[in-house]
A = this chain, B = another copy of it.
Amino acid sequence: MKKFAVVLSGNGVFDGSEIHEATMTLLAITQHGSIYDIFAPDVEQYHVINHITGEEMPETRNVLVESARIARGNIRPLSEFNAAGFDALIFPGGFGAAKNLSTFAFDGPDCTVNEEVRKAVLDMREASKPIGALCISPVVIAKILGDVQVTIGQDPGTAEAIEKMGGTHKTTNHGEVTVDEANMVFTTPCYMLDANILQIYNGAYNVVGEMMKYL
């Protein structure tokens, strides 16, 4: 039985992990006969967004503690991640990837990446183990690995940022997966396109399915 590490970035599309993508990733791993552990960095969220108004709320929340809501409490700090213990690594999307795991939402191609996220990706890359990323998360992979082919769907600005970081962007539609065999990187657009929840289900199922072919 293969074991995935799933990295969350909070709990809610506008300031954390996109909830449907995170849930569908866990489901897809289970449907493909594999198991998972869930991780998140133990850091403060960049900010807290009221998901009705879109406005910032005057409070602080912790990425690990909020991610634990999606994980039903079964979560560990990303500092405890050890590549040797896992067959694959995967990042659901949501603005948390661009605000908490990296500063991409603010700094674009000049962003910085959380050091634990960087180490996790580099360790898996070194071991030639599959790395998956949904939605906006591929920008984090591109920032870390540089010369890698990924997809974030069809957004020209984000695609351009990926190219500036040294990556190659492939335009895709709902549920399609871009596979970079040389880097063992697997990406799918999900809510970077105007998608419904069934299309997210398909995207998560497909990206995990592609990763499974190499396990």
Q: Which residues of B contact A171 (CB under 8 A)?
A: none
Complex Cα–Cα for A95 and B51 (A): 21
Q: Which residue of B lies closest to A54 (CB)?
A: B73
Interface string of A69-112 (1 = CB under 8 A from B): 11111010000000000000000000000000000000000000
Q: Which of A53-70 contact B (CB under 8 A)?
A: 54, 59, 64-65, 68-70
Q: Which residues of B contact A197 (CB under 8 A)?
A: 23, 26-27, 30
Distance in angstroms from A96 CB to nearest chain B CB is 11
Selected interface stretch from A11-19, A127-135, A145-153, A176-184: A11-19
Establish whether residues B24 and A72, one from each chain, have CB atoms under 8 Å apart when the complex forms: no
Complex Cα–Cα for A72 and B24 (A): 15
In the complex, A143 has a CB within 8 A of chain B: no
Distance in angstroms from A210 CB to nearest chain B CB is 19
Establish whether residues A52 and B65, one from each chain, have CB atoms under 8 Å apart when the complex forms: yes
Interface string of A26-38 (1 = CB under 8 A from B): 1100110000000
A69's partner among B13, B65, B201 (CB-CB below 8 A) is: B13
Q: Decide: A52 near B75, CB < 8 A? Known: A12-B69, A197-B30.
A: yes
Other A-B pairs beyond A11-B69, A23-B24, A51-B72, 16, CB < 8 Å: A11-B11, A12-B69, A16-B69, A20-B26, A20-B27, A23-B23, A23-B197, A24-B27, A27-B201, A30-B196, A50-B65, A50-B68, A51-B69, A51-B71, A52-B75, A54-B73
